[in-house]
Every structure is written in structure tokens, then in C-alpha cells.
Copies of this chain bind each other. A is one copy, B any other.
Amino acid sequence: MTKVALASLNAADEAGFMAALGEVYEHAPWVAQAACRQRPFGTLAALHAAMMAAVRAAPADQQLALIKGHPDLAGKAARAGAMTIDSTAEQASAGLDHLSEAEFARFHRLNSAYREKFGMPFIICVRRHSKDSILAQFERRLQNSMAAETETALGEIFHIAALRLDQRLEAADRLEVHGRLSTHVLDTHGGRPAAGVTIELLELSATGEQRMIARATTNRDGRTDAPLIGGRPLPIGRYELRFHVADYFAGLGTRQGDPPFLDVVPVRFAVAEPEGHYHVPLLVTPWSYATYRGS
């Protein structure tokens, strides 16, 4: 998606503005229309705030209509290709577009239970979650009261809108919607960054499924050239980093056991803050290692 400059939007006519931002709030162009009348905006943050304020200022039934305008998660609309382009891409980001029959059935059950209790679809900012985390939230939020759940749904809609604005617009400021997952490997046997170490990142799921989501080799500074995840929220979920350390030490001719005491070192951890910075390094010798949540 080519980004539009905020300045251009400030100067555009209403049709231009609505073409760019009319779908930031799902099936609710009135939110963008309200913001359109308050131009110009100096920052993305100001525009985002104005749109949120418009939602907050709307009567309760209009807010509820906004909520009800969203599709079910992994629902029939998804299967039928009947969702907005944004929703389609968002649901795909957590793998909701290729569920097993069992998973589809589970989502169907949860959607039905949720609709029955609250009379609206379950809304969650999918890009901030793994499939496991979505299911966990689903179960947890089914326990909420109607009031709490309406508030939670609006909060999720604001998260979704912030990410849609971030994808569409360019400005001097950035909305704080991105997290970062990075690593580095320090060879404390040789007292130097470990270069040339193969690293894999997998997303783990409660069902035992493991999905490879990044693969990199450390550079001369023991780091990867790019973050393992960056430029987007970190999906709440569980991950495993795999560091191929026996190959690294073998390449240096370092004495190891036969077989080596350490080979592929797995580090399992969970992400709980989608906009956080998770730096998960490895300090390693052929006989020891340490890891931690760093910065």
C-alpha cells in the first residue's frame, strides 16, 4: 500500500480524504467524516485522537452499530471472501485464513457463544496476537460483563484503527504501534561477538504446532542485520529461538564433546507486550549459556 502524506490529506477535498481514510473504521465512514471537518492535523497522533474522540462522542447505539459492523473472526464471511480488504489481511496475519476443521469448529463455537451472550461479534486487534492468544482472549472475555466488553471492543477497534492509519499515512511522527524482537550472540569462550551463527525463530502453539517465522545468520557484530520481527506489533504468544552453536564452535575449531555438549540451543519465551522491545540474547561457550530479556 503506497503511503499518503498527512500534508496531502490536509489539503485534499473531502472525497480525497474519504477515499484514503473512509475504511479505517470498519463500515463506519462517519468517523472519518468527523475528522475531515477538523483538519488540518499536525501529527498522526492528533488525527488518531480526533477519530477516537468522534467515536467516544457518538451515541451508544451508534457505537454499538460500529462494533456490529465488524466480521466474525475466522467466520463464514472469511470463508466466503466477503470481508473488507483490511479485515482479510488482518485475519490472515495470525493464520486465521487456514485453520484446520477442528480449529474452525472451535472458533465457530466461541463466536456463537459470544454472539449469544453479547449480541455482537468478538472484536480483537488480530495483528497484536497469535492464534493461541486470540483463543485465550476469547475464553477470558466471554466472562466479562456487557459494559466491560463494550469498552474492551472499542479499545480493540482503536488498536485496529491505529494500525490502519500507520499503514496508510506518512507524517513527521509515528504512532507507537510497532514492537521489536531482536537478539545477539556473544561468544564468551573467545570474548567476541559470535559471527555466522544460524538462528531460527519459531512461533509455538498450545497444540504443539511450530511455525518458522524468521531465519537469520549473525553478522560480525553477533547481531542480525534486521530485527527478527519489526515494523509491526509483536503478536502476543510463545516463541522459540534456536541458536546453532555447535556448528559455530566447530567452524572455529574449538574443542567440544563428541557429540558436543551443546548443539542447537533452544530458548523459549513469551511476548506479552506487542509494542515492546524484546531483546533476547545468548551468551555462550561450548559448555554454558545464559539468556535474558534485555533491551
Contact = CB atoms under 8 A, between A and B. Distances in A.
Measured as residues with beta carbon below 8 angstroms from the partner, the interface class of chain A is 35 or more
A261 B293 contact: yes
Contacts of A189: 189, 285, 287
A292 B286 contact: no
Interface stretch (A52-60, A67-75, A107-115, A269-277): A269-277
Contacts of A186: 292, 294-295
A257 B285 contact: no
B269 A268 contact: no
Contacts of A290: 283, 288-291
Contacts of A133: 259
A188 interface: yes
A295 B192 contact: yes
A22 interface: no
Nearest to A188: B288
A190 B295 contact: no
Given A238-B259, A238-B263, A259-B238, A188 B292 contact: yes
Contact of A270 (B222, B260, B268, B294): B260
A138 to B, nearest CB: 15
Given A265-B268, A289-B291, A289-B292, 18 more contacts: A186-B292, A186-B295, A188-B188, A188-B285, A188-B287, A189-B189, A191-B286, A191-B292, A257-B270, A259-B270, A260-B272, A261-B269, A261-B293, A262-B270, A264-B268, A283-B290, A283-B292, A289-B290
5 pairs of A and B residues whose beta carbons are closest in the complex = A191-B287, A288-B292, A257-B272, A290-B290, A188-B288
